[in-house]
C-alpha cells in the first residue's frame, strides 16, 4: 500500500527564493490552464484537450516574453501543476454526471499568491535524489537539509514540497509499504466517538478529549487581537499573522500526535475495530462546530482505517443511522426518546446503562454482524435518507407500464366495440 512520509525541511535563504519562484510558476501554469478552458467555454469553442493545453501553457508560453521565466524551474513542476488542473476538471465533470462518489463539487478555482499553503510536486522524471549526506536534491533548487525522524521503507515515487501558513517547509514522500500483520489477538472493540470523551471503547475504557484548541484559545485570542491592531499591508501585520499561524500549527500538530498515539494503541490491542460512520460535515454546521473540529474525528478514523489495513486488522464503519445509543445491549429493546443530556438510562429489563459504553457495545455487535454477512454499510452523505417514491417502493406501477396497460385496455375495448 502507498503511504506518505513527511519531514521538516530547512532550506537556505537562496533555496527559499528558488522555492518561491517554483511555487509562483506552478501557480501561473495552473491559472493559465483554467483561464483557457473558461474562455473556450464562454466563447462556445471546442473543449481544449490536455495535450493541447500543455502545448499552449507550457511549451509555447516559454517562447513568449511574458512567460519566458517559466524556463527557470523544473519542467516536471509545471507538468504536475497542469495535471492538477486537468484532474480538477475531470473530478468536476464526474461530479456533475454522478459518477464521482461523495458530495457535489464545483469547478476548479484560480490559485492565489496569498494562499496559506503553497506546494509543488516532483516525480521520478524530475530525477530528485536523496544524497549520501541525507539531503534532498531537487532540480534547479539544490540540496535541502531534511530533519529525518525515521528511514524511508522504500524509494519514493514522488515528493511534494509544501510551505504552510506558518512559513514552515515540509517534504512529503510517497512510498510503497508492505503490509506487516501484527500477532493475532482475540480482542475486538467498538468505538463510540463523542465530545465529552473523545472515544469510548466497548470494554468500558474512556479516552479523554484533550481539547487542544480550547486550551490554546486564550493565547490565540491575544495574538489575534494584536494582529487586528496592526496596519494593513505593514511588515508588523505580516509578522503578527505568522505568530497566529504558528500557534494554530502547534495546535494541529498536537492533535495529530494524539490521534496517532491513540489509533496505533487501539490497532495493536484489537483484532477488529468497528466505528460509527458519523456525519461530520453536518455536525460542523451546528452550534457544536468548534468542538467537532477540535476533536478531529475524520482524521482519527482515517488513521484507524489505514493502520488496520497495514497491520492486518479488520476495520468496518457502521451505518450512522444505527440506533446505538437508544438500543439496550442486554435485551435489544429500543428506547423511544433519548435526549442528549441523558448520560445514563435504565432499560425496562432492569439493566442500567452508561450511554456511551452501551453505544460502543452496540457498535461492536453491529460490526460483527456486518462483517459476518460480508457486506458494507450504505454510503451516506449526511442528513436523513430520502423516502422512496411509490414507484420505487412498488406500490404503484411505473408510468411507462401505466401507459402500456392503458393502451392494452383501450385496444381491448375497441375490439369489443367492433364485435
Please identify which of the residues 32, 188, 305, 356 carries the catalytic annotation.
356
R_g (Cα) of the chain, nearest Å: 28
Q: First vs last Cα of the chain: how many Å apart?
A: 75
User: Using H for helix, E for strand and C for coil, what is the string for 272-334?
Assistant: EEEEECCCHHHHCCCCCHHHHHHHCHHHHHHHHHHHHHHCCCEEEEECCCCCCCCECCCCCCE
Q: 3-state DSSP call for residue 71? A: helix
Residues 6+ apart with CB under 8 A from 314: 188, 271, 272, 273, 308, 371
DSSP conformation class of 55: I
One-letter-per-residue 3-state SS of 142-207: EEEEEECCCCCCCCCCEEEEEECCCCCEEEEEEEECCCCCCCCCCCEEEEEECCCEEEEECCCCEE
Largest CA distance in the chain: 101
Using alpha carbons, select from 93, 158, 88, 85 the residue that is nearest to residue 123: 158
Judge whether 276 counts as a catalytic residue. yes
Tell me the C-alpha distance between 96 and 359, whole Å.
Answer: 38
Q: Is 143 a catalytic residue?
A: no
Annotation marks residue 217 as catalytic: no
- Given a contact cutoff of 8 angstroms between Cβ atoms, the answer to whether 104 and 36 are in contact is no
Beta pairing, strands 2-10 & 142-147:
antiparallel
Residue whose C-alpha cell is 484537450: 49
From the candidates 32, 188, 192, 305, give the one annotated as an active-site residue.
192
Q: Is 343 helix (H, G, I), strand (E, B) or coil?
A: coil
Phi and psi of 349, rounded to 5°? -80, -5
Considering 32, 188, 276, 305, which one is annotated as catalytic? 276
Which single residue is written with the C-alpha cell 450504505? 378
Residues annotated catalytic, as ranges:
192, 276, 356
Amino acid at each position: 500500500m502507498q503511504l506518505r512520509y513527511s519531514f521538516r525541511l530547512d532550506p537556505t535563504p537562496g533555496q527559499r527564493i528558488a522555492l518561491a519562484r517554483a511555487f509562483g510558476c506552478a501557480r501561473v501554469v495552473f491559472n493559465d490552464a483554467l483561464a483557457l478552458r473558461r474562455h473556450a467555454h464562454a466563447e462556445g469553442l471546442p473543449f481544449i484537450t490536455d495535450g493541447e493545453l500543455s502545448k499552449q501553457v507550457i511549451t509555447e508560453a516559454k517562447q513568449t516574453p511574458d512567460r519566458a521565466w517559466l524556463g527557470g524551474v523544473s519542467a516536471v513542476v509545471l507538468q504536475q501543476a497542469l495535471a492538477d488542473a486537468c484532474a480538477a476538471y475531470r473530478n468536476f465533470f464526474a461530479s456533475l454526471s454522478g459518477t464521482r462518489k461523495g458530495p457535489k463539487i464545483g469547478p476548479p478555482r484560480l490559485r492565489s499568491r496569498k494562499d496559506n499553503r503553497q506546494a509543488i510536486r516532483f516525480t521520478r522524471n524530475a530525477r530528485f535524489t536523496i544524497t549520501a549526506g541525507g539531503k534532498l536534491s531537487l532540480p534547479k533548487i539544490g540540496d535541502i537539509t531534511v530533519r529525518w525522524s525515521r528511514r524511508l521503507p522504500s524509494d519514493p515515487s514522488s515528493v511534494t514540497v509544501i510551505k504552510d501558513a506558518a512559513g514552515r517547509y515540509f517534504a512529503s514522500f510517497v512510498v510503497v509499504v508492505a503490509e506487516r500483520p501484527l500477532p493475532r489477538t482475540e480482542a475486538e472493540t467498538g468505538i463510540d466517538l463523542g465530545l465529552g470523551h473523545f472515544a469510548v471503547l466497548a470494554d468500558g475504557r474512556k479516552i479523554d478529549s484533550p481539547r487542544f484548541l480550547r486550551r490554546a484559545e486564550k493565547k490565540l485570542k491575544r495574538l489575534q487581537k494584536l494582529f487586528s491592531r496592526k496596519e494593513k499591508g505593514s511588515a508588523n501585520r505580516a509578522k503578527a499573522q505568522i505568530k497566529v499561524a504558528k500557534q494554530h500549527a502547534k495546535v494541529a500538530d498536537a492533535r495529530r500526535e494524539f490521534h496517532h498515539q491513540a489509533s496505533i494503541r487501539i490497532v495493536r490491542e484489537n483484532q477488529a475495530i468497528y466505528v460509527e460512520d458519523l456525519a461530520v460535515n453536518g455536525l460542523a454546521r451546528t452550534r457544536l462546530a468548534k468542538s467537532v473540529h477540535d476533536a478531529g474525528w475524520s482524521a482519527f478514523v482515517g488513521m484507524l482505517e489505514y493502520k488496520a489495513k497495514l497491520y492486518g486488522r479488520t476495520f468496518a464503519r457502521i451505518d450512522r443511522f444505527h440506533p446505538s445509543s437508544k438500543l439496550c445491549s442486554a435485551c435489544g429493546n429500543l428506547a423511544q426518546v433519548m435526549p442528549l443530556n441523558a448520560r445514563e438510562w435504565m432499560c425496562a429489563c432492569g439493566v442500567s446503562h452508561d450511554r456511551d459504553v452501551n453505544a460502543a457495545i452496540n457498535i461492536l455487535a453491529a460490526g460483527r454482524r456486518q462483517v459476518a454477512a460480508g457486506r458494507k454499510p450504505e454510503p451516506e452523505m449526511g442528513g436523513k435518507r430520502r423516502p422512496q417514491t411509490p414507484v420505487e417502493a412498488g406500490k404503484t406501477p411505473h408510468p411507462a407500464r401505466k401507459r402500456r396497460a392503458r393502451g392494452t385496455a383501450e385496444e381491448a375495448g375497441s375490439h369489443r366495440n367492433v364485435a
